[in-house]
Amino acid sequence: DTGVSQDPRHKITKRGQNVTFRCDPISEHNRLYWYRQTLGQGPEFLTYFQNEAQLEKSRLLSDRFSAERPKGSFSTLEIQRTEQGDSAMYLCASSPWTGLGNEQFFGPGTRLTVL
Amino acid sequence: SQKIEQNSEALNIQEGKTATLTCNYTNYSPAYLQWYRQDPGRGPVFLLLIRENEKEKRKERLKVTFDTTLKQSLFHITASQPADSATYLCALVRGSGGGADGLTFGKGTHLIIQP
């Protein structure tokens, strides 16, 4: 399967714990995006990378959220000191850089539940 | 503030009929508009992209229109089938940043095709 993969698919944690999610994009895609989706809402953009450079991070929800893409391949999203309001589906997407308005290929998401 | 509105209630259509979904936006000047399909528990899947200088785009049974004067896009599924039942998301790409600042999604419309 050469699609976008995310790990884990589900994560249950206690409030105050740190969690880290991984995203493996389609191999030839140099752009990688993170979104958050809550029930009944569309995905909400968080941040994106072009290769290893994080070009937009002002939309990260708070300073508890951080993302990395150290070698321009896979990416991680970390949430520190989780809160119940962080419970959501975290989606990763990738796209090739071929100009404007590229379609994005989404992974299956990581569902986070904070108790 | 920028806003995207989609029919928030479920849309019930009889099999074989044409389903029409609406996406309205305010305070945007999008360069592109995209439509995605999302099934429960899965990531969105890209369907169609339409540029601001295009009025209509077709792909098999799908048709999208884009009216930048009305600030509206319509998404049509002709000869609808129960397998078309899903949530359909409208997403905008802003004119600046080349789409690299991430997609802005509407809440989605839940479409149900009844046999």
Taking CB atoms and an 8 Å cut-off, how many pairs form between chains A and B?
71
Mutate: best of A102, A112, A113, partner B, most B CBs <10 A: A102
Search chain B and give the residue with CA nearest A59.
Answer: B101
The whole-angstrom distance between residue B96's C-alpha and the CA centroid of its chain comes to 21
Determine the average pLDDT of the residues in B13-22: 97
The tokens of B40 are what?
Answer: 């429960």
> Residue B98: left (phi > 0), alpha (psi -120 to 50), or beta?
left
Chain A residues lying within 8 Å of B45, measured CB to CB: 106
Report the alpha-carbon distance of residue B90 to residue A84 in Å, rounded. Answer: 28
Report the alpha-carbon distance of residue A99 to residue B11 in Å, rounded. Answer: 35
The pLDDT tens digits of the residues spanning A42-85 come to: 999 999 999 998 887 777 888 999 999 998 899 999 999 999 99
CB-based contacts of A115, cutoff 8 Å, min separation 6: A12, A13, A14, A15, A84
Q: What percent of chain A has pLDDT over 90?
A: 74
- Using alpha carbons only, how large is chain A's radius of gyration in Å? 13
pLDDT score at A96: 87
Chain A residues lying within 8 Å of B98, measured CB to CB: 99-101
- Interface residue B89 vs chain A (CB under 8 A): yes
Residue type, A47: T
Per-residue confidence band for B99, with pLDDT thresholds at 50, 70 and 90: very low
In whole numbers, what is the pLDDT of chain A averaged over residues? 92
Task: Render B73-101 in DSSP notation, one character per residue.
Answer: EEEEESS--GGG-EEEEEEEEESGGGGTT
The residue to which tokens 């290929």 are assigned? A105
Mutate: best of B6, B101, B109, B110, partner A, most A CBs <10 A: B101
Cβ of B102 and A109 within 8 Å? no
pLDDT score at A41: 93
Please tell me which of A15-24, A61-70, A92-101, B100-109 the model is most confident about, judged by mean pLDDT.
Answer: A15-24
pLDDT score at B65: 96
Cβ of B34 and A44 within 8 Å? no
Per-residue confidence band for A97, with pLDDT thresholds at 50, 70 and 90: confident
**What part of A 43-102 touches B (C-beta under 8 Å)?**
43-48, 50, 55-56, 59, 91, 93, 99-102
Least trusted range by pLDDT, from A35-39, B3-7, B29-33, B42-46: B29-33
pLDDT score at B100: 56
Coil vs helix vs strand at A72: coil
Cβ of B34 and A103 within 8 Å? yes
Q: What angle do CA B96, A59, B107 make, to 5 degrees?
A: 85
- Is the pLDDT at A99 greater than 70? The verdict is no
Least trusted range by pLDDT, from A97-106, B18-27, B82-91: A97-106
The tokens of B66 are what?
Answer: 């884009």
**Shortest CA gap B14–chain A (Å):** 24
- Interface residue B52 vs chain A (CB under 8 A): no
Report the alpha-carbon distance of residue B43 to residue B52 in Å, rounded. Answer: 26
Phi, psi of A107 (to 5 degrees): -85, 180
pLDDT score at A63: 92
Q: What angle do CA B75, B81, B87 make, to 5 degrees?
A: 50
Instruction: Choose among A58, A59, A5: nearest CA to A35.
Output: A59
- Is the pLDDT at B17 greater than 60? The verdict is yes
